[in-house]
Amino acid sequence: MIRIKSRMFLVLAVLVASIFPLNFFPHIQDLPAGAHGQLSGKQGEVVVVTVPVKGEPIKVVGHLLDREIMFFPKGTGNYVGLLGLDMQDKPGQHDLGIQVEYPDHKDRHKVTVLLMKEDYKVQHLKLPKKMVDLDSKTLVRVKQEAKILHHAFDTALPDPLWNSSFIEPVQGRVSGRFGSRRVINGESKRPHSGEDIAAPDGTPVVAMNRGIVRLAMDHFFTGKGVILDHGLGLFSMYFHLSEVDVTQGQMVEKGDPIGKVGATGRATGPHLHWGVRLNGASIDPYSLLKISFNGSS
């Protein structure tokens, strides 16, 4: 967590990732007056940021690169935000600007984010030619479905719907790692934006936390899938399902079944593609499992 005060910043960065070394966790540090706070993390990770506030601000919002980070009240005198570091964000130092808006004034703070490069692996896949070299009709379909997916992320609920810790939607062998560079039939593709979890066909898939079904679909690449909106720009995706057991607009609780493992869409065998999008950033879903706090105020 990061605690920020005017003229004197108290910094505590809590880095969450399934493989992040313990010796990288920073200590609480009192910075001299006028200095900026600082935190660090790797590509694909989540950082929890806490901002102490006075009174009741109208809103607290942050900006990192071209992304907006919404904060929510947590207890008395604190606002919390989840900062997602995209798997393709450029390593180096970036500024996280935070604005606390009150009825009569605004407080502004700046925190330096040291973004470190993650060592992603290369994954080679062999797929049928018709699933890679698309005909004109399929290309039209794919473009239309891409617009539908993009539109699903347009609306950000102003409050967090999740409660307490996040859970794994299905247990199984991880067959495709987040961030790995895909080489399909010898041609390099975009990095893998989720975790592939291999499990028997028909295995129940559950919601990683409370949320609203933003989209239930059957698309060319993703097959049958579900997108959950957990509020504050946090979305989870469940693709290649054999069955979808929820409908658009439905509220689901953490652990509720939403579908079953399958191999629909562009898939080589039964597995769940589990993806997470946070304020526009693609992050490693397993990084969320390290966070444990109540989403409500």
Q: Compute the mean pLDDT over every residue in the chain, rounded to the nearest whole number.
A: 80
Domain identity same for 162 and 226: yes
Q: Give yes or no: residues 57 and 146 share one domain.
A: no
> What does residue 131 show for φ and ψ, rounded to 5 degrees?
-90, -10
Is the pLDDT assigned to residue 169 strictly greater than 90? yes
Q: Mean pLDDT lowest for which of 38-42, 169-173, 271-275?
A: 38-42
Which of 116, 146, 171 terminates a domain? The answer is: 116
The CATH number linked to 66 is 2.60.40.10
Highest-scoring range by mean pLDDT, 61-70, 126-135, 188-197: 61-70
Residue range(s) defining the domain that contains residue 194: 122-290
Count of C-beta atoms within a 10 Å radius of residue 4: 22
Do 91 and 193 reside in the same domain of the chain?
Answer: no
- Confidence (pLDDT) at 194: 79
Residue 176 has pLDDT above 90, yes or no: no
Cα 231 to Cα 213: distance, rounded to the nearest angstrom: 11
169 and 101 part of one domain: no
* pLDDT at 222 (0 to 100): 92
pLDDT for the residue 76: 82
Cβ–Cβ < 8 Å for 29, 111:
no
Q: Is residue 5 part of a domain?
A: no
Count of domains in the chain? 2
Residue 103 has pLDDT above 70, yes or no: yes
Please report the pLDDT score of residue 183 as a whole number.
64
pLDDT beyond 60 at 180:
yes
Same domain flag for 134 and 231: yes
Residue 8 zone, left/alpha/beta (φ > 0; ψ -120 to 50; rest): beta
Query: What pLDDT does 229 receive?
Result: 96
Instruction: Quote the DSSP letter at residue 32.
Output: P
